Structure 1
Amino acid sequence: MRYALALFATGLSGGVCADEAENAFVEANILGIFYHELGHALIDVMQMPVFGQEEDAADVASILLIDHLFEPESALEMAYDVANGFWAEAVVNAGEPVAYWGVHGPDEQRFYNTVCIFYGGDPETRDDFAEDMELPEERAEYCVEEYELAADSWGAVFDELAEGGESMLFSAEDASTMTAQIISGEVAALNADFGFPSVIEVFAAPCGEANAFYDPSDQTITMCEEFEDHLRVLYRALGN
């Protein structure tokens, strides 16, 4: 277990430290998005069966990795920010038709799924989290079971990765950006914790859109640099 990188507290290389809470939100969501794409990569390279939407499985992998990898206080702070990232997407897109035909669930549902699973991992100490996030009691009563089911499924995968294997590789078009620094540090940390069945390459680069994706054709994860600015828009949409 480890603490978050906390780039927001130390300032980025050669840059001026912006508002700490905003940078913490950006950092947590960059990591949450990266873990989501890593979930897709693991499903592919480990040939995992997926019963249901793969996007939902990747969301579950993301919040479980936050719970699994970080010390409780840091995991809690990240869970607030990652869940609120989904809520902010809903706020920004209010008035737009919901793409029920899409592979991702509605942002509000992804918010409550994330809150429920994280709360279910330790309901005795996370009851304030559930209350702050206004998790309905009708859902909260099932969250321990949801967490246990998710942990049984993904936990076996994490245990297998802990046995060792190949390392992830990282490269960036501009190593000085916030995204590149966060992902570079996280790839190094994951390589210390896990080994993968095959090499997964991770890139931080401009994509022309605020996005991130896993490409199974060459087993690569791309983290788009444009996501940082988009996340700052989301943070401000929450009224911060």
Structure 2
Amino acid sequence: MVTIARLGEALPVLLRLAVVLLGVLASPVVARELTDEERAIAMEFAMHDAIFTLYHETGHLLVGELGIPVLGKEEDAADSLAVILILNYTADLDERYNTLIDVADGWYINAGESTGDGIDDLSFYDEHSLDIQRAYATVCMMVGADPDEFADVAEVYEMDVERQDACGPVYAQAEAAWMTLLDPHFGETPADRIAIVYDDAGDYADIEASLKEWQVMESLAGLLASTFALPGPVTLRAAQCGEANAFYDPDAHEITYCYEMGAQMYDLYRATYAEDQ
């Protein structure tokens, strides 16, 4: 089972997603109107996913811009770097943990919803690991980094003690590998060489407003400027893409976050948590 195990909240909240998912997997969801508080939480869920997504794409950007070699699947390596960066460079302790919890839960929900349709063969050829694998890999990295803090999350994900113990070396190896590869490139980049662009959001004005309110791209730009010596200018762009997506374009030296991705994650929360009681 899985959870939204937000720090500082009571046990019933720890088990909320586990209970709801039983219903999601067993029967159709009947949506209701969200309260103002629920809408705020749904947008928080979407913004946490946006943070992780942009850190993931930063992995691709660093590989492309710095010429870093990657052994294995680059998508998995980018996931690992996103976890490492969030854990090490997000100032607020609760925020860094809740971001990763929401990300893991999002993949778990997506995996649960796809179960009814089955997993076609193309899923196994995809450059990304399956959503359920990404969920458990993220939880393992979290537990490996801080086993005491994430013990409740591991329990709700039904991760046994032996597996939890194995997550320590998994995280340590991933962190050591990335830090070794990045070490020659630590430094600074002039802030004016990292552009932030918000294209017209159209119907996704609420997503654009939340990205700005949360300073999602601005925080990433600050991290890049203060941590890495990039060889040239790069752009962080939010745009309408016609699909829920995010990507790094090596020719344009640009990361694009699609407004549709934020809307999709907001709707995912709404559909999962706002069913009639």
TM-score (normalised: structure 2): 0.74
C-alpha distance in structure 2 between counterparts of 1:193 and 1:156, whole Å: 18
C-alpha distance in structure 1 between counterparts of 2:158 and 2:99, whole Å: 17
How is 1:137-156 mapped onto 2 (pairs within 5 angstroms)?
A: 137-156=161-180
Q: Deviation digits for residues 83-116 of structure 1, max 9, x if unmatched?
A: 1111122123222342111111110000000000
How is 1:29-178 mapped onto 2 (pairs within 5 angstroms)?
A: 29-70=49-90, 71-98=92-119, 99-156=123-180, 160=184, 162-166=186-190, 167-174=193-200, 177-178=208-209
Q: 2:232 aligns with which of 198, 206, 214?
A: 198
Q: Deviation digits for residues 117-142 of structure 1, max 9, x if unmatched?
A: 11111113321232233323342121
Question: Secondary structure at the residue paired with 1:170?
Answer: strand
Structure 1: runs of 5+ lacking an equivalent: 1-15
Counting aligned pairs with the same residue, the percent is: 32
Structure 2: runs of 5+ lacking an equivalent: 1-35
- Cα deviation for residue 80 of structure 1 reads 0.8
C-alpha distance in structure 1 between counterparts of 2:37 and 2:226, whole Å: 29
Question: Secondary structure at the residue paired with 1:103?
Answer: coil
Aligned partners of 2:49 and 2:103 also within 8 Å: yes
Aligned partners of 2:189 and 2:226 also within 8 Å: no
Aligned partners of 2:144 and 2:170 also within 8 Å: yes
Aligned-residue Cα RMSD (Å) equals 2.3
The aligned amino acid for 2:218 is G
- Cα deviation for residue 143 of structure 1 reads 0.5
Aligned partners of 1:32 and 1:62 also within 8 Å: yes
C-alpha distance in structure 1 between counterparts of 2:80 and 2:153, whole Å: 18
Aligned partners of 1:210 and 1:226 also within 8 Å: yes
C-alpha distance in structure 2 between counterparts of 1:178 and 1:134, whole Å: 37
Aligned partners of 1:92 and 1:234 also within 8 Å: no
- Cα deviation for residue 28 of structure 1 reads 0.5
Mark the structure with the bigger radius of gyration: 2
- Cα deviation for residue 185 of structure 1 reads 2.5
The aligned amino acid for 2:56 is H
- Cα deviation for residue 74 of structure 1 reads 1.5
Question: Which of structures 1 and 2 has the larger relative contact order (alpha carbons within 8 angstroms, sep 6+)?
Answer: 2
TM-score (normalised: structure 1): 0.84
In the alignment, structure 1 residue 184 sits paired with structure 2 residue 184? no
Question: Secondary structure at the residue paired with 1:169?
Answer: strand
The 1:40/1:191 distance shift into structure 2, 3 A limit, reads closer
Q: Deviation digits for residues 164-200 of structure 1, max 9, x if unmatched?
A: 1354211111386136414333234324532323322
Q: Deviation digits for residues 19-67 of structure 1, max 9, x if unmatched?
A: 2321211110001111111111111111111111011001111111110
**Could you say which residue in structure 2 is the equivalent of 1:211?**
245
- Cα deviation for residue 213 of structure 1 reads 0.6
The aligned amino acid for 1:204 is A
Question: Secondary structure at the residue paired with 1:123?
Answer: coil
Structure number with the higher helix fraction is 2
C-alpha distance in structure 2 between counterparts of 1:131 and 1:238, whole Å: 21
